Each structure stands twice: as structure tokens, then as C-alpha cells.
A and B are shown apart, each in its own frame.
Chain A
């Protein structure tokens, strides 16, 4: 990308005569930060406050940089390039701003959670555990089972639906499905839990709380995300590819399977990952539908099933007199949950890389 963007050498072309050297923006950034720091240091001395306002210094330093780079570039390079540099600075800034909460969050979770990441945590349940010790293995299993089942149901149905919408659907039914999938994204997670709970009460008797019910709640939440994200991606597959395939006499279903989906697989994988990430951390519906347990349970159709988010939530909200072990378990559970999604994410990327056709990018 970079090579295509960088313009030809300026020496001969009068149109690109005024050019800032490559290091100039960095110089301006450093200068701006220094100046801002100096101003804040002076202010601090002047007002006699104790703490140096580092957030303010960085903030005004960066704002100063964005303005300066625009002005300097406008003077030397002209307004079009100035605008380009301005946007480049803004885009970079957006990225840095977005990284701040991420860094703070990851730092908090890792710092608080790593204390309890030990063998016990991944092999033991909380059966007969009072105070220290114990683990989250039962919750990890519950989360994997319920999310796994929800994924197994949602991904085929969701993907086929999006294929229907993009490749086959025309007229009223397709419009209705599109619209209703939108509606479905608006189901509040707690309502999905209530629905699943009510459904399984009908099937298995009143007051039933089982893992399958939790999986059903997650499916309701996951389906629309899968459909919408894969629909948007499938629509972006250039029609030329389909037409080329038809022209070679390939039937439509094979075209979809061998041309359309492989072209879009990276996007679909991202969408599926997002949808898993969306539901794997759901607390409220699982608490209502699947209940709470301190014991191992591998049976989705019998007995309450613990999940990691519920585990984290209850470790936080109901602590005993000796509360530190509970807090440690809560953060360790959160860290585990993030790690699980990271691993799944990596797997999805691998899948995408293996199956995606090699394009120009």
C-alpha cells in the first residue's frame, strides 16, 4: 500500500515542488509535545499544585501537533497535501485514543487476574471450596459447551440464511427476513434468557434450568449477528466473479460454494468470531436460563450449568468475609474468558488464511 501511495520523486516535477522531508511530522510531534510539557510544567510551578498534569500535557501536545502539521504543510506543500497530512494525523490519533482504554483494561485484567492462573484453577471446580483455592474448570466447560452448541446451531443456519438473502432471495420473503433479522439484533440479552427459560419450562417442566436452555438463549443472540455480518460480506463479493463462474458453466450452488464463500471467508470468519465474542461474555441470560452451580456438569440436558461470565459476576458480587480469594477468582475468570476468545480468534484467522484465495492485498 505504502509504495503505491508515495508520490514520484519531486526533483523534476514542478507540481510537487514543495515537499516536507519524511522526518518532519515526527519532528513536529516531538516539538509540540515538548512545548506542551514545558507550558504545563510552568503552569504547575505557577499554581503550586503537586501533581504534574501528564494527561493534559499529552493531550494539548497532540492537539498542537495536529494543528501544526496542518499549518506547516499548508505553507510549504499547499492545501491539498495539508489536508492529507491533517487526516493522517487524525487517523493515527484515533488509533492511539482507542488503544488507551484497551491497554488500561488489559493491564487491569492481567495484573489482577494472573495471581490465580494456576493448575488448580483449570482442573478444579468450586465443590467443597470455602475461602481460598478451588477453580473454574466447571465454568470453563459450561461456557465451552453452551457457546459451542450455540455456534454449531447459529453458524450453519446464519450462513445459509445470508446466502439465501444475497444469492436467492427476492421479493417479500427476503425482505421480511432481512427486516426481521434486524429486529432480532435488538433482542435485549436478558429477554433472550427469559425466552429460553420460558421455552424450556414448556418442554421440560416448570423451573427447569439446563445448559441447553442457556445455549438456546445464546443462539437467539448469535444468529442475527452471524446473518448480518456474513450478508454484508457476501454482498461485497464482486459480481464479475460470479459471472465468470457462470460463464464457465459452473452451477450456481457450486459457484457459491467454490467462488463466493472462499472469496468472503476472511470476512465471514471475522463475523463469526465477533458473534462468538458477542455471546461468550453474556451473563444475564445464562444466569436466568442455565442457572448457577459450583459443580461439574457435562450434561446439557440435565442440571444447572455454570459459565465463566456468571462465575466472574458472582465471584464479584457475593464475597464472603474473607473476600480476597473471591476477587482473585473473578479476575482470573475474566482473564481466562478473554484468553479463550483470543484462541478461538486465532483459530478463525488460521481458517481464513488457509481457505482464502490469494488476492492482490
Chain B
């Protein structure tokens, strides 16, 4: 953020300045308006679903109420997104560093382009690929995991016969959010002032020491922002999860079995076409909760970024 001391002493407000700042302000306010409309819509439609008489809701199983309906879905959403992020984040940082600081410059541009391509693949295609190619290919390694690491609850089994498990879904999600995190990390890594980098190298640092002491601290807010964008996508991803994951409303930590927790977004996508009456409101209410989850996650990220603001370039 530009600090006030620099701007305050300006002599006069030019018309161009006024027009420009006004239009920027209007745009920002427009976003507020759109968001207020969406939130209003969600509340209006969702809250009746939350407090509906469980007897009248046909998508609840016997004796279930809204809380019992939604808690496993919340768990599934967070679980899948967290697994995806754990897999994608180190890889994404690695790739971003590879492109920005390791690969020869000519090669780097091409490589960056190829990674961006992954972001362009629509989620339906990820779904088709995940369900029909990846699941089958990865299933034998699940058998291996159960045999050799079965004592870890995550790999307890029994192994799914088709490979359409939480681990597969998390891998698909990881592949989907990888380019988002990579692209943003790469851009911030490239923005590292060359003077700092050269200073570090001049002091005798190896390339890794230079990256650790200069590039990573400088790029950390950007990496976190990218990770949060990725996490946001993983939390809200609908079609790919719906097509790949064999899920239902349960809380299970086993990653390789047939019975897996479902995510909120996938649940809405699967249930919505057949939903009618108050069921629609219940589904929108789960959407409202997903909205709230993302809000919390993003607030945390914003807090981290702000605490680290002193590293950003525009100080």
C-alpha cells in the first residue's frame, strides 16, 4: 500500500485524477453490490432450508436433520481440499521456482505456457479423465498401500474395486489447482528485485541459499494468495469431484475405500437436478455454509498476508 506521506503533499487534484479515482471507487462499490445481492439471495433461499421441518425434506435419510446432513459434507469438503493443497503446494512452489530460477530462460517461457494449459482444462474433462483413466491406473497402488501401510488408518481399506476414492479425487483436485498456484507464485518470484538476488549471490550464497533468503520471503504473500485461490477452487469444485468421487454423507478417514465423504459442491450438483420444493432450499443452505467456510479460510489467509506485508514491494 502506498504510504500517505508520499501522496499527501500533492499540489492539486486534476480532473483526470478525479474521474479515474471515481471510476475506481464505483467499480469497487459495484463489487460490494453484487456480493450483497448474492449473499442476500443465499440467505433468503437458504435459511428456510436450514430451519425446515426435517419431516418435509425428502433428501434427508430417516430421522436426519440439517446439522446431521451437513456436518459430514463440511468434513468432506475440508478434507478433500486440504489433501489437495498438501499435495499441490510443494509441487507448485517447486515448479514455479523451476520456471523462474532454474530452467534456461527460453525453455522457461514454454514451460510456463504448458503449465498454464492445465488451468485451461475444463473440470468436466478432469472428471472424465479422473474417473476413466486415473482411477483405473492408480487402483493397483491402493492395493499396495493397503498391504504395506494398512496399519495407518488412512490406508486401512478395504480397497475400492474401481479406484474412485478420496485419494484419487484429491489428486485430481491437486492437478486442477496446481496451475493456479504455480502461475501466481511464478509471477511473484519473477518480480523479485534482481539487485537483491545479485547481492545474495555476490555474498557467496548458493542458488538455494539465495532463493531461501531472498526469493521465498519476497514471494511469500503471493504464494499464500495463490494457495488460497487454489484452495478456494478446491473447496468449490463441483463437476470433477462429482464424477470422480464415490461419496456419500459419512465421515471416514480412509483414503482408498469405496465409502468416502462427499463435498458440499458435489453434493449440490448431484442432488439439485432432482430436487424440488424445500429440498432446493436445503441444498442452497449447504451452499451458504460452503460460502462461510471459504470466508473463514480466506480471512485467515488475508491475515497471514497482512502480517507479512513488510516484505511486499509496494511498501
Residues of A within 8 A of B (CB): 1-2, 4-5, 15, 55, 80-81, 83-84, 86-88, 90-95, 97-99, 101-102, 104-106, 108-109, 156-158, 160-161, 163-170, 173-174, 176-192, 194-195, 198-199, 219-220, 223-225, 227-229, 232-239, 242-243, 246, 251-254, 256-257, 266-267, 270-271, 273-274, 277-278, 280-284, 288, 308-309, 312-313, 316, 330-331, 334, 337-338, 341-342, 345, 349, 360-361
Contact = CB atoms under 8 A, between A and B. Distances in A.
A130 to B, nearest CB: 23
Contacts of A253: 14, 16-17, 19-21
Interface in B24-45: 24-32, 34-35, 37-38, 41-42, 45
Nearest to B9: A246
Nearest to B287: A191
Interface string B96-120: 0110011011000001011111111
B245 interface: no
Contact of A169 (B28, B171, B180, B235): B28
A168 B20 CA distance: 10
Most buried by B among A91, A176, A220, A273: A91
Nearest to B222: A232
B83 interface: no
B194 A189 contact: no
A274 B180 contact: yes
A271 B118 CA distance: 14
Contacts of A219: 34
A83 B206 CA distance: 9
How extensive is the interface on chain B, given as a class? Answer: 35 or more
A157 B23 CA distance: 9
A341 B21 CA distance: 33
A101 B175 contact: yes
15 contacts: A4-B201, A91-B94, A95-B98, A98-B175, A180-B35, A188-B235, A194-B45, A195-B38, A224-B31, A238-B313, A246-B10, A309-B122, A316-B128, A345-B120, A361-B105
Contact of B41 (A167, A176, A198, A349): A198
B248 interface: no
Contacts of A308: 122
A164 B190 CA distance: 24
Contacts of A252: 7, 10, 17, 20
Contacts of A86: 208
B193 interface: yes
A93 B94 contact: yes
B31 A157 contact: yes
B125 A186 contact: no
Contact of B27 (A164, A180, A194): A164
Contacts of B35: 180, 183-184
Interface stretch (B53-61, B62-70, B146-154, B293-301): B293-301
Given A4-B201, A185-B294, A270-B116, 18 more contacts: A4-B198, A84-B209, A91-B95, A92-B102, A95-B111, A106-B117, A109-B121, A160-B24, A180-B35, A182-B301, A182-B302, A191-B287, A198-B45, A225-B229, A232-B188, A236-B314, A239-B313, A246-B6
| Closest 3 pairs between A and B when the two form their complex, measured CB to CB | A186-B294, A281-B122, A94-B94
A160 B27 contact: yes
A98 to B, nearest CB: 5
B133 interface: yes
Contacts of B97: 91
B160 to A, nearest CB: 19
Contacts of B287: 188, 190-191, 194
Nearest to B30: A157
Interface in B258-315: 264-265, 268-269, 272, 284, 287, 290-291, 293-295, 297-299, 301-302, 312-315
Contact of A183 (B29, B272, B298): B298
A144 B153 CA distance: 47
A165 B28 contact: yes
B262 to A, nearest CB: 14
A177 B124 contact: no
Contacts of B294: 183, 185-187
B163 to A, nearest CB: 14
Contacts of A156: 27
B31 A251 contact: no
A164 B25 CA distance: 6
B135 interface: no
Given A94-B94, A161-B31, A237 B313 contact: yes
Nearest to A186: B294
Contacts of B16: 251, 253-254
Contact of A98 (B115, B134, B187): B115
Nearest to B293: A186
B238 interface: yes
Contacts of B228: 182, 185
A341 B121 CA distance: 8
A312 B125 CA distance: 8
Given A180-B35, A270-B116, A108 B133 contact: yes
